[in-house]
Amino acid sequence: MPKVTINDRTVEVAAGTNLVDAAIQAGVQIPHYCYHPRLSVVGQCRMCLVKIDGMPKLQAGCSTQVMKDGMVVRTDVPEVEEAQKGMMEFFLINHPLDCPICDQAGECGLQDYSFKHGVAYSRFQYEDKRTYPGRERIPLGGNVVLNMNRCIQCTRCVRFTQEVAGTGELGFFNRGARAEIGTFPGKELNNPLATCVVDICPVGALTSTRFRFAERVWYLDKKPSICTGCEVGCNITMEHRRGDIKRYKPRYNVEVNDYWMCDYGRSTHERYKKTPRLTTPRVRTEGGNGNGHTPFMASTWKDALDTLHGRLQAARGQGEIAFLGSAFLTCEEAYLFGKLADAAGSPHRSVPTDVGPAWTIPRFERPPIQGREQAPNRRGAELAGLAAGDGKTLTGEDLLQGDGAAQCEVLVVCDSDFGVGAYTPETVERLRRAKFLVVFGWADSPLAQVADIALPVSHHGEKDGTFVNVEWRVQRFERAFPPPGQTRAAVEALGDLLSRFDAAWAYQSPGKVFDRLAGELPAFAGLNWHDLPATGAALHVPGAVHSLSDQAAEAASEASS
Amino acid sequence: MAVFEPVLTRNVGRPEALTLKGYKQNGGYEGLAKALKMEPDAVIDEVKKSGLRGRGGAGFSAGLKWSFIPKGKDKPKYLVCNADESEPGTFKDRLLMEYDPHQLIEGCAICCWAVSAATCYIYIRGEYTKAAEILERALKDAYEGGILGDSVMGSGFKLNMYVHRGAGAYICGEETGMLESLEGKRGQPRVKPPFPAVVGAFGAPTVINNVETLANVPHIMVRGADWFKAIGTDERNTGPKLYAISGHVERPGTYEYPIGVTFREMLEGCGGMLKGRPLKAFIPGGASAPILKADQIDIKMDFDTVAKAGSMLGSAAVIVMDDTTCMVRSVSRLAKFFNHESCGQCTPCREGTNWLELMLKRIEHGEGTERDSQVLLSICSHIGGNSLCALGDAAIGPVQSLVKNFQEEIDQHIRDRACPFPHRRYFES
């Protein structure tokens, strides 16, 4: 591999690496706007100009590739700094400088580079700024708004729609200083990945209708998380202010979602605002008719779990006890829920899933990844101990579509937000046929309202855990903020409940459970919570397909046979 | 000066040269016939030896350019003839195409033979409707006469030639911008490297030559490189050259001279200054060449001498200005052109040319400030060498020369708070 020297730091890079990437490897930042690792190189922002020994002119770092040994590059010489100053001046003369009302302020490429490479005064004092009257707030599609005045014509968005989304709605129109971005006549930027153009826009020209004017970005707390929209498990950054999730942004993971995520995924945090929260454990008082018509009493966790423990003990031998899991549970929660079923001596456990439209994320040098199940962790939950039994047990289908609940002495649902079914009156009615209905959940959903015991557990922003995605990759995410009221993480609550059966289960944490589960389940062998890579790890599942292309081939051969 | 027998313009004034028969009467297609008997490499060597330099503006050795085309047959190769003549003041290629289309076709065919290209596109400026029609007719003639098609002049060499009409953008005269336009995309330059000789039209190796360059080739073939080398000032500046003279002269037009004729001779050749007024300044090579002052009147108009004088021969479009010309106004008009024609792709050119235009307009309107000249130069230095293609470098030429050569005129605008020249149209008495 050729060696390149950048600012006296020598680094070995793959032949064909461009200087911007090589510099990152050498620990040097070359400022750039139009260059993006997944988009074609156009070399037009001219911000990445560098001095290369033996070249008379400055060269664009993005379009210069390291092909052979001995290239000596400098970014800290006066001519480069002068050129960067010049470019920053050019960018800013026609930029509105409306940072105080701009959503991008705080994460803006112009602000950052202006601070680092620009000058603090303007020589553009007598001329009028170029503006695009009437093009200050153009909705390009349902989710993206364009303010042309702020645009620096880097054409990242245009190249994204052409090269990644493959839909090509955006174009570069007009010439020279009047050049502008827009949709082609009759087209709208409505592809499933549309909001990615907002992420890659280095300035505030493209803003997301979901996040527009919602929050100043410097007030946002950010935590690495996983999208729960579908089984792809896109890596995201959860950005919230004091527990109020403001937006999801894709987090780079070349194995899963690369730099992208879909618009549907970005909207999934809205569910946490749509349904009121359950914040207090509730137990229905004695003496009611048992049909959901007696008043609830606020309870304490201790009383509620004692009651539940008592019911589970009493029900043993009296009738069926069913455990309805959810594909939104983390592996650890599913594992403990499975253990709870074991402790209650029940074979009835299942993970209901909704299958919906396929969400597809294009990836670099890999086939696109596709998710059809509308929940993140069906695979993980089943692996961890919630797989339905041998056909004689009550399955999710029996409970949700059939009359299975009527046979149940006790039905435990964890969590209540297991899918669309949790909100339809028919399903709620079917589940309510159980003699005693226990619901764990973050939402005060219709199901929680008719339950005999409703226990508040945290949603995925409020807990640590792991999900297993469509390609059997286990990925960890972090708690972004504490749960409200008396809400507890499900791992904690289930551990507490299990300890009533066996004291050894007291004081559980996701890390502890994961390590235990990894020791027990062959699929997770060799993994441990602490060392789980940031990009996740592929599970050893017999017959598992880690790539969707293989899956498709398999499906095709099955269909033909 | 000894009488110079016209080479490129020998068929101007012979309307019969528009037909294949008429062109052949005057020795037409002999160069192609001769080339087809030679090895392609020998043709390239001959052109290299002749010292023919590109007539489009950059002045790069034509033979050398051809030799960069990789050998081998794994990819098709293309010749694109640059007939997108849009540099302000330039109208030499138009003459060649309108009066002698077969000369160009012959030149193209020889080049295609030399680099083994089976396809040639003549990318012609959209506004040149007449020239395009004449070329189309000549191509039809050539196909029918067996010059083009499956077997060029019976040699078995297959060659197709097409006229491709542009839609009117200066930037499509930049070679990679032209390729993009030819491929049906937005006409804007590509990043180089890779150069067109390796990855050009449709991803294949491509030679791009100006009309006048290719028109010279048949004559080199017929009369030999040594004859060609004998014309001109020295080893590096050889051959006949068309000069498009416009501005304040009695008889503007396209004139053919051996390269290296002095500006004074040229001026005399076109009847001297308009109404005998004194010369103030002249642009030697089209809008992008820095302006020279009247004291350079004896300059030899060849590539190297003009470059040494701080300007460039470019497309040899000579624009002559007399003492009634406001230099600030002229340069502001040029800046307006470059701003209008910048493709908007790269930052320095997009923003810089716009700023230059606004600033020069302001100075012209008497609203300049003391430090403007220095800011102008600073903007120029930020554009120069930093832009994606050569348009940025072209745009700053006139501005830099304005500040360098005509600083006192800028100062006068600033002092008087107005333009000292009466604003009248130049052809009024």
Taking residues A114-122, what's their average pLDDT?
A: 92
Q: Residue A529 pLDDT more than 70?
A: yes
Q: How far is CA B216 from the centre of its chain?
A: 14
Q: Tell me which chain A residue has its CA closest to the CA of residue B385.
A: A57
Q: What pLDDT was estimated at residue B319?
A: 96
Q: Residue B164 pLDDT more than 50?
A: yes
Which is more confidently placed, A540 or B210?
Answer: B210
Same domain, B249 and B194: no
Closest CA to B266 of B275, B277, B254: B254
Who among B341, B343, B347 is closest to A46 (CB)? Answer: B347
Same domain, B317 and B333: no
What Å distances lie between residue A161 and A149, A196, A249, A255, B277, CA to CA? 21, 9, 18, 21, 59
Who among A90, A128, A175 is closest to B348 (CB)? Answer: A90
Q: What pLDDT was estimated at residue A88?
A: 96
Query: Which pLDDT band holds residue B422 (cuts at 50, 70, 90)?
Result: confident
Per the structure block, which two tokens stand in for A159? Answer: 């190249």
Compute how many other C-beta atoms are within 10 angstroms of the C-beta atom of residue A177. Answer: 22
CA–CA dist B239, B233 (Å, integer): 9
Q: What pLDDT was estimated at residue B140?
A: 96
Contact A175 B169 (CB under 8 A): yes
Distance from CA of A153 to the nearest CA of B (A): 7
Who among A46, A172, A176 is closest to B342 (CB)? Answer: A176
Which residues of chain B have a CB within 8 Å of the CB of A87?
347-348, 382, 386
Q: What pLDDT was estimated at residue B427?
A: 44
Query: Which pLDDT band holds residue B428 (cuts at 50, 70, 90)?
Result: very low
Q: How far is CA A177 from the centre of its chain?
A: 38
Contact A44 B347 (CB under 8 A): yes
Taking residues B315-338, what's their average pLDDT?
A: 94
Same domain, B83 and B121: yes
Which residues of chain B have a CB within 8 Å of the CB of A123?
375, 378
For A256-301, the pLDDT digits (tens) are 999 999 999 999 999 999 889 999 999 887 655 455 555 667 789 9
Q: In the listed set B181, B204, B230, which residue is the last one of a domain according to the structure?
A: B230
In the predicted model, what is the mean pLDDT of chain B?
93
For A145-184, the pLDDT digits (tens) are 999 999 999 999 999 999 999 999 999 999 999 999 999 9
Label residue B58 left, alpha or beta by phi (over 0 means left) and psi (-120 to 50 means alpha). alpha
Residue B397 sits in a domain whose CATH number is 1.20.1440.230
Q: What pLDDT was estimated at residue A292?
A: 52
For chain B, the domain total comes to 3
Same domain, B29 and B151: yes
Taking residues B82-89, what's their average pLDDT?
A: 93
Which residues of chain A have a CB within 8 Å of the CB of B169?
175
Q: Which of A196-210, A275-289, A422-436, A496-510 has the lowest mean pLDDT?
A: A275-289
* Widest CA span in chain B: 72
Same domain, B209 and B315: no
Q: Residue A338 pLDDT more than 70?
A: yes
Could you say which of 3.40.1130.10, 3.10.20.740, 3.40.1640.10, 1.10.10.10 is the CATH number of the domain covering A3-76? 3.10.20.740
Q: What pLDDT was estimated at residue A558?
A: 62
Q: What pLDDT was estimated at residue A291?
A: 56
Provide the residue range defining the domain that includes B90. 15-230
User: Is residue B83 included in any domain, yes or no?
Assistant: yes
Who among A91, A124, A130 is closest to B347 (CB)? Answer: A91
User: Is residue B1 included in any domain, yes or no?
Assistant: no
Which residues of chain A have a CB within 8 Å of the CB of B359?
126-127
Q: Tell me which chain A residue has its CA closest to the CA of residue B374.
A: A123
Q: Which of A185-189, A389-393, B119-123 has the lowest mean pLDDT?
A: A389-393
Taking residues B308-313, what's their average pLDDT?
A: 94
- Residue B234, judged by CB atoms within 10 A of its CB (0-12, 13-18, 19+), counts as middle
Same domain, B215 and B67: yes
Which residue, among A32, A45, A90, A110, would best test binding to B if mutated, counting the most B CBs under 10 Å from its CB?
A90
Q: What pLDDT was estimated at residue A551?
A: 55
Closest CA to A150 of A89, A209, A205, A93: A205
Same domain, B119 and B222: yes
What Å distances lie between residue B230 and B220, B223, B238, B298, CA to CA? 12, 11, 7, 22
> ipTM higher than 0.85?
yes
CB pairs under 8 A between A and B: 107
User: Is residue B422 included in any domain, yes or no?
Assistant: no
Per the structure block, which two tokens stand in for A388? Answer: 């339905």
A168 touches chain B (CB under 8 A): no
Q: What pLDDT was estimated at residue A552?
A: 54
For A42-83, the pLDDT digits (tens) are 999 999 999 999 999 999 999 999 999 999 999 999 999 999
CATH 3.40.50.740 assigned to domain A282-524? The reply is yes
| H-helix or E-strand spanning residue B137 | helix B129-144
Contact A127 B362 (CB under 8 A): yes
Taking residues A409-429, what's their average pLDDT?
A: 89
Who among A83, A91, A152 is closest to B386 (CB)? Answer: A83
Taking residues A225-248, what's their average pLDDT?
A: 94
What Å distances lie between residue A280 and A277, A442, A449, A484, CA to CA? 9, 10, 12, 9
Query: Percentage of chain B surpassing pLDDT 70?
Result: 98
Q: Which of B83-97, B181-195, B307-321, B412-426 has the lowest mean pLDDT?
A: B412-426
| Amino acid at the residue A446 | P
Taking residues A330-345, what's their average pLDDT?
A: 94
Non-local (6+) Cβ contacts of A443 within 8 A are A275, A276, A277, A278, A416, A417, A459
Q: Residue A389 pLDDT more than 80?
A: no
Same domain, B97 and B109: yes
Same domain, B125 and B269: no
pTM of the model: 0.92
Query: Which pLDDT band holds residue A553 (cuts at 50, 70, 90)?
Result: low
Q: What pLDDT was estimated at residue A398?
A: 84
Instruction: Give residue limits of the domains in chain A.
Output: 3-76, 282-524
Residue B200 sits in a domain whose CATH number is 3.40.50.11540
Query: Which pLDDT band holds residue A403 (cuts at 50, 70, 90)?
Result: confident
Contact A177 B171 (CB under 8 A): no
Per the structure block, which two tokens stand in for A10? Answer: 């020598």
Q: What pLDDT was estimated at residue A559?
A: 62
Taking residues A370-396, what's their average pLDDT?
A: 88
Chain B interface with A: residues with Cβ < 8 Å: 169, 171, 186, 191, 339-355, 358-359, 362, 367, 369, 375, 378-379, 381-382, 385-388
Same domain, B366 and B337: yes
